[in-house]
Structure 1
């Protein structure tokens, strides 16, 4: 079964995803890169991380893939062109059944992808299959239950609970971060070939809080998350309005602070 993407590609979602860079989203991988590597970026979205990776392998090449959203891939192509990045291509593909031959890439990377697929273990097996011997599979996912904020907010708490319900009904696992090592082991890798780590995003300045809040206050009303929550009975329109207002009220507090934990794995193929 193919899972449904919880967020969809509403403008509020893409605004959030376009903020991501190689430095803030895959710093754990960067020291392993060399200039001539060939990289597969799984679930590349609007391509900001993908283009950054291509800049870091100027003598190599990066391929970004998405499952079925050509319009998002066009945004990624436009971003790469605006950045002057030419060692990059984009294609439709599925991480659960990658079309590439065995041993094709030096690095196979996935950021915030495994939480959305129906079988993250199979996804990792496919990523390992297309990685070259001596290559790396790198994956990083957030963990919704581990998100924390202050001051307390009933609206944001309701948002998290509802998001977890929607994501699981879509076939995904929103608390993926804590499971990354477990999934890699289940994919058949010995623990000695896995480096597990964690990192965070933290929003605390007024500018950061305003931006982060705007993406979620809009997303809970207008994205695929909102549609799914209503259709499946996880929330009423009144609930969604309360979530959106909860984000806005929380963000107006002078001591507003939000932290996100991410689980990371570097899998070394021998």
Structure 2
């Protein structure tokens, strides 16, 4: 397996951002296929907010969230599940390229913004298919960096965008994963009729959304693993990181600011 590194890391600024993800805003395309007694695997679960929602949607079933590293993050997710009174949920360490579950273990295997970061996405998809029961579903949603767009123009945000691409690729990932999901699914061995390919967006327009989104990135570009990688590999200087951070704040303060993020989606019947 090629060397890979998670672009964003697990800094608190990243976890706060990822904790805004829910089943409704991150995997709405999957929800009509869920049944109350299903067993669901959530790969790359991060802080576990999507996993927790999925567990609530399968009350007679079970949800399992896995991360390749960061036991501290998983423990926080466990604590959150206890606080929410949800007990049909498990969190564990696992590598997407080599899942430690037997064949046909789950009714649904889900990943949100994961394959863009892994070294071998087709291998990961084959593992997802392997652990899915016949008649079950593999569901994947990925952003597409080049399809992101914003207004008004801002040099700091533009620098973030180009640097994000460089860091993601140097970490072994594919930042434009969204457009490739259907192709990857076919290369993983699925037939075209087994795959439903769709797209959806996140769009930030209200003052509250803009304040949250811009401030989140203003902190992440100077504090997270993204910043460390960008500096270490010479993609940007410290001054450049500060320029990105200020650029995000300046952009988010504009009354006409707008940002949209395209996601590719695949729902695969196994």
Q: Is the TM-score greater than 0.5?
A: yes
Q: Distance in 1 between matches of 2:244 and 2:186?
A: 37
- Residue 2 of structure 1: how far off its partner (Å): 4.2
Q: Residues 35 and 58 of structure 1 are in contact (CA less than 8 Å); yes or no, is this contact kept in structure 2?
A: yes
Q: Which residue of 2 aligns with 1:201?
A: 202
Shift of 1:214: 1.1
Cα distance in structure 1, aligned partners of 2:77 and 2:224: 20
Whether the 8 Å CA contact 1:140–1:263 is kept in 2: the answer is yes
Alpha-carbon distance, 1:3 to partner? 1.3
Structure 1 counterpart of 2:28: 27
Residues 81-128 of structure 1: CA deviation (Å, up to 9, x unaligned): 121110000110111000000000000000010000000000000000
For the residue of structure 2 that corresponds to 1:159, the secondary structure is helix
Question: Partner of 1:3 in structure 2?
Answer: 4
What CA deviation, in whole Å up to 9, does each residue of 1:20-54 have, x standing for no partner?
A: 00000000000000000000000001010000000
What residue in structure 2 maps to residue 128 of structure 1?
129
8 Å Cα contact 1:2/1:117 also seen in 2? no
Match of 2:16 in 1: 15
Q: Equivalent residues in 2 for 1:23-62 (5 A)?
A: 23-62=24-63
Which ranges in structure 1 are unaligned for 5 or more consecutive residues?
Answer: none
- For 2:159, the equivalent position in structure 1 comes to 158
In 2: Cα distance, 1:121 partner to 1:74 partner: 29
SS of 2:29's equivalent?
helix
**Separation of aligned partners in 2, 1:263 and 1:2:** 25
- 1:96 maps to 97
* Secondary structure, counterpart of 1:180 in structure 2: helix
- Give the secondary structure class of the aligned counterpart of 1:6: coil
Q: Which runs of 5+ in 2 are unaligned?
A: none
Write the distance in 2 (CA, Å) between the matches of 1:144 and 1:12. 20
- Within 1, Cα distance between the matches of 2:83 and 2:162? 39
Q: What are the within-5 Å matches in structure 2 for residues 1-270 of structure 1?
A: 1-269=2-270
- C-alpha separation in 2, matches of 1:233 and 1:196: 37
Tell me the distance in 2 between the aligned counterparts of 1:57 and 1:18: 20
Query: Does the CA-based 8 Å contact 1:131-1:137 persist in structure 2?
Result: yes
> What secondary structure, in the 3-state scheme, does the structure 2 residue paired with 1:28 have?
coil
Aligned residues: 269
Secondary structure of the equivalent of 1:3? coil
Structure 1 contact 61–88 (Cα < 8 Å) conserved: yes
TM-score by length of 2: 0.99
Distance 1:145 1:157 in 2: 11
Q: Distance in 1 between matches of 2:69 and 2:203?
A: 31
**Whole-angstrom distance in 2 between the partners of 1:11 and 1:214:** 13
Separation of aligned partners in 2, 1:145 and 1:19 = 23
Q: CA RMSD in A?
A: 0.6
**Distance in 1 between residues matched to 2:26 and 2:180, nearest whole Å:** 18
